[in-house]
Structure 1
Amino acid sequence: MFAMIFMILLAAACSSSQQAQEPNDTAAGSGDTAAGAAAQPKEASKTDDTFPRKVESAGGGVTIEKRPQKVALASWQLVEMMLPFDQPSVGVTLPFAAANSVLESEQLKPHVDKFKEFKIVGEGTKVNLEALLSYGPNLIIAGSKTNLAIKEQLEQIAQVVWIDEESINTRTEWPKVVSLIGSFLGQEKRAAELIEKFAATQKAGKQKLAVRQGESVLFVQVRDKAVYVMQPNTLLPYYDGLGLTLPKTSENMPANGQITLEGLSVINPDHLVLGYFNYTNKSLAALTDEWEKSEVWKSLKAVKEKQVYALNGELAMGLGPIGQQYGLESIIKAMEKK
């Protein structure tokens, strides 16, 4: 009798434990996302953590046998898209030099610090193949065009999954890339959460800034010796996502986007967003430091109305979900009427 009672209690305990550990099957909601956003992954919670799995890769599907513990990014465009995921170890190729990099910013540093191992396997967009080999990844994520020249070398180091850059524009369609990376890592739910949060911020921001409709907004990229007008198609998460209004541009705008103070005065926007590329190191020079001393600058509509906003251009005008989320929140806060 005692043995029978013990077996009944044991069976009940196992059943209760199993129910407690079952994942939540509620799919993430959908909504507006950045331009070119991918659809939310279907039944993400049911596919998470399931290996082997077949995933999309340029040139045909690839089967990943086990959850990758060490993942390397050969494409410099993917850094921000990897940082939000829960991964024990990553190796990254940076679009910039590691010294004084945006990785030290308050937005990115917490993501970098959460990895048990964070290795740099390339700088200035170039992969250091020796560093990559030494890192010893289980999986390499590469761009079909960005890394085409070293395709053979990469595939000799580890299994490679290729982002199809012929069909996905990584500059303007980061949600599609994030969804793919989520599928590579078995973290589709995390990818869906990032996209959903971004869409929700856009939706709420568009409502808050509705009173600004019709007021022109110009984004410029501020460097030490030059200022560039950002092209609208690279800023769709802001213009389309928040309902901002493009200014009328000068017919004499240089093809490379570089603008002078006089050219800026011709456009004369209602709101001016200064995306500094020395934001994390204020000791570095910026051309607008000199502009601000001139009468032409002081005569600008945005300056007189105190509607000039400074932010980290490397992040807000960059390629990924963390920087653009920061950009959305910064612009909404700055432009919202109190």
Structure 2
Amino acid sequence: MTKRNLPLLTACLILLIAMVVGACSNAADSNNEGGNATNAPSEATNSPSNEGTGNADKAAFPRTVDSAGGEKVTIDAQPKRVALVHWGLTQELMNFDLDSIAITLPFTEKQSFLGTEVYKPYVAQYDDVVVVGENTQVNLEALLQYDPDVILAGSATNKDIADQLKQIAPTVFIDEEQTNVWTDWQGVMTQFGAIFGLEDNVKTKIDEASAQVEQAKQQLSGVEGKVAYLQVRDKSIWLQGTAYSGDYYEPLGLTPPKEAEGEGVELTLEGLSAINPDHIFLGYFNYNDKSLAALSDEWEQSEVWKKLKAVQSNQVYAIDGELAFGYGPISRINGTDAIVAALKK
């Protein structure tokens, strides 16, 4: 087929008319606050994909954010591929709508939570969930291959590889002296939200969690006596302290034994008998794999166990300890649900 060329003069006239019409249209839109959204400024393309979160203004990029040690980090565009090399903050990250994430796991990938029913909906929202390390060991080669838009790290947890991380991508360090990353998930998420331009998304999540806790407290208002949360391992059992499991005590209107104040203690059966709580939660770390051992199985055969108040009144409850005693909003939400379900029976 032969292409037919317009005469040069005609083509020039068409181009001139198009330029005039476009200029008039832009002028009209700039004076019309209710103008068509298709004529909005190009910065709107940096808005988050979460509809109705009201982040259009806050999501403007580039933006400069604070990093530990007084450093400032410039984020050129809204991150879509985010790498987190602090193994303890995965739950906070999984509450954000991103395209892809890379994470380090507390244990091995085989032992990880990624395949559990609780986490499946969170994992499914991403195009990719790439594992780039275990605990404090980060696979820098895998991280480089992942090619993140931004890296999130801990000032203490990842201090030994700080320089290497910065060479791979812009890296923001959460100041672990200023933020207790193990208990203050709201503070961690607030900092993540500022990096991603999703501040309003964070507020919504925190408000929802606060409402859930308040509702749970009302549902548990009739519970009396001391409540003990036990972390059940294969060869040890620990009384969860208020320093790490405080969300399950005062905010829910429940009373801990005095031995649970602070970080808690490792227990013997005789030690548990001395505490003799009214309610006992057995937080099994073999909850999803009964082929693994649990020390409480031995205790339950003892006459000392059978004489406990909680045992005699049928107020001993089994929960998933690996989930409930984990760090972050996913653990706290599910742990609260499990506690309410047990104590309302």
Corresponding residue of 1:4: none
SS, match of residue 259 in structure 2: coil
Distance in 2, Cα, partners of 1:148 & 1:124: 14
Is the 1:103–1:109 contact (alpha carbons within 8 Å) kept by the matching residues of 2?
A: yes
Distance in 2, Cα, partners of 1:300 & 1:190: 46
- How many angstroms does 1:161 deviate by? 0.6
Q: Give the one of 7, 18, 22 matched to 2:37.
A: 18
Q: 1:128-277 maps to which residues of 2 (within 5 A)? A: 128-213=139-224, 215-249=225-259, 257-277=265-285
- How many angstroms does 1:15 deviate by? 5.5
**Residue identity matched to 2:238:** Y
Distance in 2, Cα, partners of 1:328 & 1:256: 19
**Residue identity matched to 1:190:** N
> Segments of 4+ in structure 1 off by > 4 A?
14-17
Identical-residue share of aligned pairs (%)? 45
Q: 1:1-338 maps to which residues of 2 (within 5 A)? A: 18=37, 45-58=55-68, 59-213=70-224, 215-249=225-259, 257-336=265-344
- How many angstroms does 1:282 deviate by? 2.1
Q: Deviations over 1:7-55 (max 9, x none)?
A: 99xx99x957539x999xxxx9xxxxxxxxxxxxxx9635443211222
TM-score, normalising length from structure 1?
A: 0.83
- How many angstroms does 1:98 deviate by? 0.8
Q: Deviations over 1:45-92 (max 9, x none)?
A: 354432112222212332211011211111111111111211111100
Distance in 1, Cα, partners of 2:195 & 2:322: 27
Distance in 2, Cα, partners of 1:105 & 1:139: 27
- How many angstroms does 1:325 deviate by? 0.4
- How many angstroms does 1:274 deviate by? 1.3
**Residue identity matched to 2:166:** E
SS, match of residue 235 in structure 1: helix
Distance in 2, Cα, partners of 1:131 & 1:330: 37
Is the 2:242–2:264 contact (alpha carbons within 8 Å) kept by the matching residues of 1?
A: no
**Residue identity matched to 2:82:** V
Q: Deviations over 1:144-198 (max 9, x none)?
A: 1111111111111111011011100001111000111112112222211221111
Corresponding residue of 1:40: none
Is the 1:179–1:191 contact (alpha carbons within 8 Å) kept by the matching residues of 2?
A: yes
**Bigger-Rg structure (1/2):** 2
Change (3 A) 1:99 1:216: same
- How many angstroms does 1:248 deviate by? 3.5
**Residue identity matched to 2:254:** L
Distance in 2, Cα, partners of 1:314 & 1:107: 12
- How many angstroms does 1:280 deviate by? 2.1
How many aligned positions are there? Answer: 305
- How many angstroms does 1:103 deviate by? 2.0
Structure 2 gaps of 5+ residues are: 1-23
TM-score, normalising length from structure 2?
A: 0.82
Deviates more, 1:282-291 or 1:84-93: 282-291
